[in-house]
Copies of this chain bind each other. A is one copy, B any other.
């Protein structure tokens, strides 16, 4: 397997950067969930390229064509499927791409694995463009979760050489104003000043023919306690398996994350208190997960996104045909920083993981039955 994942909710992603189209299917979605296509398109717009100087100039409409699974504005229980046509592709000297692998890209390992039969155009199936279908199914999952009061938000927690930004997602309860603010800034970041500084850093790197990495933080609010499994299907395992499917992600952490290494048990344990008749941890170092199972607190996680490997500078590589060293300058359009566009992708991955766990536990709130109508006069 490779591009198929999930337990009860089964996701498949297909397409290459320059194939006729890219697409996805999602099997296992309950029937009767209302789907707002305009809302889905607005969500996809957040990931789409060509919107800002910080992103690639490849302009894609990224309008999804719904193929199956929706009838009369609701999921119909059959597998959902959608596609995006690949329009704005440019041909290039692909033979050189086959011979001289780009550092930091999958070119070299793919050349070995696929014995040189892989599609190299635009990165093939390894392209970041494949996050578009991931966002389509993720956007569907987000709408399914909203129906039971679960909200997911993400933002840029760190970007480039900036000192660590102190704005964090609310780890106690959903802050709707905070979620809205993220979308209004120059980059999807809680703090307006930090957003502006991050933006400037990207432009600076771009002008130097270089690229920047960063950290995306994501939270899921309203997931009831008791969802997920011990060991290999905990919420952490499920989110990590999806998040590491996003190209360029090199680390995933939950709650206090790698910071736990410097905490003592007395500091890291989240004490419980009763609040208005509810059991409530007073801190959330656990990131809302203990033993793989939700505690009822927000699920908080972060993913590290590496700097775009495609940079305009001359780089050292090898010529696989001649068996000698070679220089390489990556041509074409590319993002000086993909972190801003990775923000909705983190939300998509999180939504799919949470919805799958809810379904497997029989905890998803099924929509009511559709009324039987009489067609007679």
Contacts and interface: CB of A to CB of B under 8 A. Distances in A.
A18 B212 CA distance: 47
23 contacts: A5-B231, A8-B8, A23-B23, A31-B115, A32-B114, A68-B125, A77-B125, A78-B119, A95-B373, A98-B373, A113-B361, A115-B369, A115-B370, A117-B370, A125-B230, A210-B265, A214-B261, A234-B245, A236-B249, A244-B292, A253-B304, A265-B309, A269-B309
A112 interface: yes
- Which 9 pairs between the two chains have the least Cβ-Cβ distance? A106-B291, A112-B226, A251-B253, A2-B229, A78-B125, A211-B265, A115-B369, A95-B375, A362-B362
B77 A118 contact: yes
A253 B264 contact: no
A4 B27 contact: yes
A125 B230 CA distance: 8
B370 A225 contact: no
A45 interface: no
B272 A95 contact: no
B213 A116 contact: no
Question: How many residues of A sit at the interface, in one of the four size bands?
Answer: 35 or more
B211 A99 contact: no
Contacts of A25: 12, 14, 23, 25
Interface stretch (A48-56, A79-87, A146-154, A182-190): A79-87
A124 to B, nearest CB: 6
B67 A307 contact: no
A177 interface: no
B232 A242 contact: yes
